[in-house]
């Protein structure tokens, strides 16, 4: 175990990974120990042989074929995650598009909303939920509202008459049907 630790220290010394004090101690040890010298020599020879000796290898595919897969994947991932696509290189044009397009969308939505919620013209008659007042003491009113159809029926009745004098239906869309 001690020998193993010493071997690892010698390797660290060869690799320049030891602090100065310990490196000096190891240098002194190597100067006196032939076994340590042999190991250091082997490690150094291998290190020298390996540095810059990585096997060169050419991609077995043609430039076009190799690139086509990369390009497809870039495009696919950009489609799948528009946010990720924007995280890819940003040109000024892309940056502008990134800011301007959402703003344009918000502005368009605001215009549509304004048109949609434009105040309705004054209503001629009450709509459901409005208070109905009979201003004439001679008149009685009765209302019926059907939630499912949105239909409200108002009976105006002359107290002196036996049958309803008039009936007006009001739909939720404010159109008025008169029976």
Partner 1 sequence: MSAPDDQTEKSDVDLVQAAQKGDLLAFEELVARHRDKIYARAYSMMRNEDEALDLSQDAWVKGWQRLTQFQGESSFVTWMTRIVINLCLDQIRKHKRQRLESIDAMDDETGGVERQMPVVDVNPTDGLERGELRQRIDGALAKLSVEHRTALVLHEFEELEYKEIAKRMDCSIGTVMSRLFYARRRMASLLAGLKRESAE
Q: Contact between 61 and partner 1 (CB under 8 A)? A: yes
How many of the other CB atoms lie within 10 Å of CB of 176? 12
Q: Contact between 73 and partner 1 (CB under 8 A)? A: yes
* C-alpha distance from residue 175 to each of 102, 120, 129, 171 (Å): 38, 11, 15, 6
Strand partners, 146: 151
List, in order, residues 6 or more apart from 10 with CB less than 8 Å away: 26, 30, 36, 39, 40, 43
The footprint of partner 1 on residues 17-56 (CB under 8 A) is: 17, 35, 38-39, 41-43, 45-47, 49-51, 53-56
Q: What spatial distance separates the first Cα and last Cα of the chain, rounded to whole Å?
A: 107
For residues 86 to 125, the per-residue mask of contacts with partner 1, x marking binding by CB under 8 A and - elsewhere, is -xxxxxxxx-------------------------------
Please identify which residue in 70, 115, 162, 163 interacts with partner 1, judged by CB under 8 A.
70
Least CB distance to partner 1 at residue 118 (A)? 43
Cβ proximity to partner 1: between 34 and 135 the closer is: 34
Cβ proximity to partner 1: between 52 and 122 the closer is: 52
Strand partners, 82: none
Residue 17, CB half-sphere, CA atoms under 13 Å: how many? 7
Least CB distance to partner 1 at residue 61 (A)? 7
Least CB distance to partner 1 at residue 26 (A)? 14
Give dist(CA 116, CA 18) in Å, integer. Answer: 76
Cβ proximity to partner 1: between 93 and 116 the closer is: 93
How many of the other CB atoms lie within 10 Å of CB of 154? 18
- What is the binding site for partner 1 (CB under 8 A)? 4, 7-8, 11-12, 15, 17, 35, 38-39, 41-43, 45-47, 49-51, 53-61, 63-64, 66-71, 73-74, 77, 84, 87-94
């Amino acid at each position: 175990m001690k020998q193993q630790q010493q071997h690892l220290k010698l390797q660290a010394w060869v690799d320049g990974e030891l602090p100065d004090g310990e490196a000096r101690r190891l240098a002194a040890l190597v100067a006196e120990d032939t076994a340590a010298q042999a190991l250091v020599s082997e490690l150094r020879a291998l290190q020298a042989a390996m540095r810059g000796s990585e096997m060169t290898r050419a991609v077995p595919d043609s430039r076009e074929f190799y690139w086509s897969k990369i390009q497809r994947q870039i495009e696919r991932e950009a489609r799948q995650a528009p946010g990720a696509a924007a995280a890819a290189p940003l040109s000024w044009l892309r940056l502008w598009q990134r800011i301007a397009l959402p703003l344009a969308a918000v502005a368009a939505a605001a215009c549509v909303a304004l048109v949609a919620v434009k105040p309705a013209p004054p209503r001629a008659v009450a709509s459901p939920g409005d208070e109905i007042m009979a201003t004439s003491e001679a008149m009685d009113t009765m209302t019926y509202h059907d939630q499912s159809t949105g239909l409200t029926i108002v009976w105006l009745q002359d107290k002196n008459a036996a049958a309803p004098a008039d009936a007006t239906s009001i739909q939720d869309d404010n159109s008025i049907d008169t029976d």
